[in-house]
Amino acid sequence: MIKVGIVGGTGYTGVELLRLLAQHPQAQLTTITSRKEAGMPVADMFPNLRGRVDLKFEDPATAPLKQCDVVFFATPNGIAMTQTRELLAAGVKVIDLAADFRITDVSTWEKWYGMTHACPELVAEAVYGLPELNREKIKSARLIANPGCYPTAVQLGFMPLIEAGVVDLNHLIADAKSGVSGAGRKAEVHALLAEAGDNFKAYGVAGHRHLPEISQGLSRAAGQSVGLTFVPHLTPMIRGIHATLYARLNKEVDLQALFEKRYRGEAFVDVLAPGTHPETRSVRAANICRIAVHRPQGGDTVVVLSVIDNLVKGASGQAVQNMNILFGLSETLGLDQVPILP
Q: What are phi and psi of 214, to 5 degrees?
A: -65, -45
This prediction has a pTM of 0.97
For 262-311, the pLDDT digits (tens) are 999 999 999 999 999 999 999 999 999 999 999 999 999 999 999 999 99
For strands 301-308 and 289-294, give the pairing: antiparallel
Q: Sign (positive/negative) of CA torsion 66, 69, 74, 80?
A: positive
Give the model's pLDDT for residue 192: 86
Q: Sign (positive/negative) of CA torsion 180, 309, 95, 28?
A: positive
Average pLDDT, the chain: 96
Question: CB–CB of 152/134 below 8 Å?
Answer: no
Which CA distances in Å does 196 have to 181, 190, 283, 311? 11, 6, 22, 18
Give the model's pLDDT for residue 189: 86
For 214-240, the pLDDT digits (tens) are 999 999 999 999 999 999 999 999 999
Question: Residues with catalytic annotation?
Answer: 149
Residue ranges of domains in the chain, CATH in brackets = 2-125 (3.40.50.720), 150-309 (3.30.360.10)
For 187-215, the pLDDT digits (tens) are 788 888 888 889 999 999 999 999 999 99
For strands 172-178 and 228-234, give the pairing: parallel
